[in-house]
Amino acid sequence: MKKTSIIMFGAAVLGLAAFGAQQAPANTAAATSNTVTQKSIDSRNNTEVLIKSVVTVGNNGAPVYASPTAAKPTARTLDAGTRWNSVGQLNNGILWYHLGGNQWVRGIDLGQGSTTSAIKVSSSETVNGKSTATVAKSGAHIYAAPTDLQPTNKTLKAGTTWRIFTYAETNSPIANNWVNLGGNQWVPETELTNFTAETNHTNKVTINYKPGYGIAVWSNYINGKPTGKTLKTGTTWKSFKMAVVNNHSWLNLGGNQWIDANYVKYVK
């Protein structure tokens, strides 16, 4: 979502430069999760994100793979409980950690204590009571924070619908956009469907469409109809609310007047 972040839906459920590189000191990472669970998510970019982190190997050890596409691991396995520097992450349906060179480990093989200091929340907004989301058919994991790399042991059943309370944008390799279901219960937006969130959003925007043309004003952001009013390219307006419907953003200009946020520029 561009700048259309809206936040959380509430629910009761909630490097190694080579193998010769040194292990990370034990005091460089804090535990961030209880149970390690790997989930294939819908957003698969197959691109390594260069984020430095410290990972802790799980109880069963961590096989080392030559690449994220390797069918079988190498003969090397990292000992349980040891900690290693990671230089990047990649998600191809499985979350991988790059330990340098041709050395990769799976997130499912990691345990408590894995953390990434570079992950930050860039924006966060509280949404109103109309904001809900439905869990995708693959189910959804609950994270204690949108900056965590591993989920908790709580999950949401496919097809269930939850109220959203907060929406956040991050640079996480798991997902850029997250919703909060109340308390320390966050879900990556990639594991949701039929997502609708509305928040107060006071700002100034300039219509950014074709010169000499304009964009339509709609009566609502869900099943709305054109009001007959058109806003010309280059004109500036004040927005009061923002709504996101399945990753599509809308801005409210007062009353039953909504415009497509894809055709505006924010005035600084």
CATH of the domain at 249: 2.30.30
Compute the distance between CA of residue 189 and CA of residue 46 in angstroms, rounded to an integer. Answer: 18
Compute the distance between CA of residue 261 and CA of residue 209 in angstroms, rounded to an integer. Answer: 11
DSSP 61-76: -EE-BSSTT-SS--S-
Distance of CA 57 to the CA centre of its chain: 24
**Number of domains the chain is built from:** 2
Whole domain around residue 145: which residue ranges? 120-190
The pLDDT confidence band at residue 6, using thresholds 50, 70 and 90, is very low
The answer to whether 205 and 264 are in contact (CB under 8 A) is: yes
How many CA atoms are closer than 13 Å to the CA of 130, on its beta-carbon side?
12
Same domain as 261, residue 210: yes
Q: Which of 10-14, 96-100, 187-191, 239-243 is predicted least confidently?
A: 10-14
Same domain as 182, residue 150: yes
Q: What is the mean pLDDT of residues 176-180?
A: 88
Same domain as 177, residue 204: no
Q: What are 61-91's pLDDT values in tens digits?
A: 999 999 999 999 999 999 998 989 888 888 8
Q: What is the mean pLDDT of residues 89-118?
A: 83
Same domain as 223, residue 181: no
Compute the distance between CA of residue 65 and CA of residue 57 in angstroms, rounded to an integer. Answer: 14
Q: What are 226-236's pLDDT values in tens digits?
A: 999 999 999 99
Same domain as 160, residue 125: yes
pLDDT for residue 15 is more than 70: no
In a domain, 36, yes or no: no
pTM assigned to the model = 0.53
In a domain, 220, yes or no: yes
In a domain, 173, yes or no: yes
Same domain as 260, residue 204: yes
Residue ending a domain, among 128, 161, 190, is 190
In a domain, 48, yes or no: no
Residue ending a domain, among 145, 172, 190, is 190
Kindly compute the dihedral angle of the four CA atoms of residues 58, 113, 25, 23, in this order, to the nearest 10 degrees: 30
Same domain as 158, residue 208: no
Same domain as 207, residue 235: yes
